[in-house]
Amino acid sequence: MGNVVDVSSIRAFGRKAGRMGQHLQKLDKGAHRLEHDEAKDKRKKKLSENRGSGFGDDLVSDLEEDENETIFDSVASDDDPDETPSLPSVDDVEERMMKVVSAMEESFRSIRGAEPTPDLFDSLTVNAYGAWSPLNAVAQVVITSPTQANITCFDPATTQSVRDAVRDMGMNFNPIIEEGDVIVPIPRVSAERRKAVVKQLGKTAESTRQRVRRIRRGAQDVVKKGKDGKLGPGISKDDAFRVGKEVDDVTENCIQALNTVLAIKQDSVMAV
């Protein structure tokens, strides 16, 4: 007589195997999530180190670029084949350009002028409570003199982490802890160094101007199709010429705004 197979045992083992498989999947997902979080924390720390280098030689001159910022759809999409081809929205063009200008202005905030301001620490992130947080979420910065900043932590437990973050931000600061506050001596900067920073700011601005002009070119490429009658009968040449003129107008306005931001920052750096 052959061996009798206990079906109930197989079923029980099957259930256990299923639970074991689910458990292993959860462990695997947890490991991947941990790796992702660690990589994200490293990227945040690196960003803080790079952006906090106000008077260092590694001042970033090329801001991160959105690969889609110059793309304007002029034909029906696969998702909506009945969509009517259209000219670029001038509001959309302006919004994309001003987003680029605002990103440049934000990058300038962590670059100190002749007189320090709390903005100098705006881009700093701190490793607190097991995660990277903006400095202003854990502390308050007060400039007490042209050569000193006081950082008061909301929670004294984060004081050492704040001190370490300031020390490592790439500006050769040597912060110390006194009576629970982080004291940051800020050395005065030579006129020669300030001139070098002004020159670097100009390079950053020129790179940003080129991005604005590429957005304009992307929009004008679609406008040209309208002028050539390639967008369909619903788009008149007069409409295309009008939109093209408006795109040029907002481009000029955005470039003027960019130049104003640059001039203000350069004047701040060179102020005595």
pLDDT tens digits for range 40-74: 444 444 444 443 334 544 454 456 677 788 999 76
The rounded distance, in Å, linking the Cα atoms of 53 and 252 is 31
Q: Which domain holds residue 149?
A: 118-185
In this prediction, residue 189 carries a pLDDT of 79
CATH number at residue 106: 1.10.132.20
Tens digits of residue pLDDT in 160-196? 999 999 999 888 899 999 999 999 999 887 888 889 9
Tens digits of residue pLDDT in 82-122? 567 789 999 999 999 999 999 999 888 878 777 788 888 98
Same domain, 130 and 156: yes
Place of tokens 């206990």: 6
Identify the CA nearest to 90 among candidates 219, 266, 191.
219
Same domain, 93 and 135: no
Same domain, 201 and 145: no
The rounded distance, in Å, linking the Cα atoms of 237 and 231 is 10
**Does residue 221 sit within a domain?**
yes
Same domain, 153 and 264: no
Look at the chain and report how many structural domains it folds into. Answer: 2
Same domain, 203 and 102: yes
The rounded distance, in Å, linking the Cα atoms of 171 and 52 is 7
C-alpha distances (whole Å) from 128 to each of 101, 154, 184, 199, 224 are 31, 12, 19, 36, 53
Same domain, 133 and 265: no
C-alpha atoms less than 13 angstroms from C-alpha of 25 in its C-beta half-sphere: 6
Same domain, 101 and 132: no
Which amino acid does the sequence have at 216?
R
- Domain boundary (151, 185, 219) is at 185
What count of other Cβ atoms lies within 10 Å of the Cβ of residue 6? 10
- The structure's pTM equals 0.64
**Does residue 263 sit within a domain?**
yes
Same domain, 213 and 98: yes
Alpha helical stretches, state H, 114-231: 135-138, 159-167, 191-227
